[in-house]
Amino acid sequence: MRTVTLVLGDFEGTVEGDVIGVDYGALVCLNKGIPVMLACGDFDSVSEDDFQRIKNYAETTIRLNPIKDDTDFLFAYKQAGDYDEIIVYGGLGRRRDHEYSNVITAMLDSRITLYDGQNKIKRYDEGTHHIAKNDYYYLSVLVFEPITITLEGFKYPLNQRDVKFGDTYLTSNEILDDIGVVTLQGGPALIIQANQ
């Protein structure tokens, strides 16, 4: 499985596979000594001196025009087209408009997993999924369309429950042991795991 990690900002965790540093995230990688395959963005979040350091550090650097249709993240995401798994650090928090855009992108592509210090967000397609609790205390499910969901190994289990967009009772559930089993019939869902 080919993995790429997109670094958009400060993060805790380990990178896997190739690394794309996005705008300020490229500077974060440089400062942590993480090799960067591609640094991209309009680099409006770093000084010109830091941009030159990034340019000298990364294998390839693409500086985008600040007047553009795509966010820096979306441009970087498009560069990851051939990868099986896309890990994203630094895509949550800070600016809500960018965070929302990043979550929408994750809603559309099950290869993406968004992480920050407290959350893991991932789309799961129709089928049965074994989800590890790890250090996450809560698990919430967001659906985009009417589907049927089964939750096994949860504090609040569901058995073939028909759910729809806006059903808020799917918020703040808990995996009882190490693994919770989620079965989705009729469509995908976005699963948010949170440790606080």
What are the b/e assignments for 18-56, b being 16+ CB within 10 Å?
bbbbbbbbbbbbbeeebebebbbbbbebbeeebbebbee
Is the same domain home to 113 and 185? no
**Residue 67 sits in the same domain as residue 113:** yes
Query: Which pLDDT value is given to residue 31?
Result: 97
Q: What is the 3-state secondary structure (H, E, C) of the chain?
A: CCEEEEECCCCCCCCCCEEEEECHHHHHHHHHCCCCCEEEECCCCCCHHHHHHHHHHCCEEEECCCCCCCCHHHHHHHHCCCCCEEEEECCCCCCHHHHHHHHHHHHHCCCEEEECCCEEEEEECCEEEEEECCCCCEEEEEECCCEEEEEECECCCEEEEEECCCCHHHCCECECCCEEEEEEECCCEEEEEECC
Residues 90 and 169 grouped into a single domain: no
The model's confidence at residue 159, banded by pLDDT at 50, 70 and 90, is very high
pLDDT digits (tens, 9 = 90+) for 109-132: 999 999 998 999 999 999 999 999
**Number of domains the chain is built from:** 2
Single out the residue in 117, 145, 167 at which a domain terminates: 117
Query: Do 178 and 110 share a structural domain?
Result: no
Residues 105 and 138 in one domain: no
- Per-residue pLDDT for 172 more than 80? yes
Does residue 63 have a pLDDT over 90?
yes
CATH, residue 94 = 3.40.50.10240
Mean pLDDT throughout 47-71? 95
Task: Give the residue, 67 or 112, on which the prediction is more confident.
Answer: 112
Question: What's the whole-number average pLDDT of the chain?
Answer: 95
Which residues span the domain enclosing 180? 124-194
What pLDDT is recorded for position 58? 97
Kindly report the pTM of this predicted structure.
Answer: 0.92
**Does 79 share its domain with 130?**
no
Q: Is there a single domain that holds both residue 11 and residue 87?
A: yes
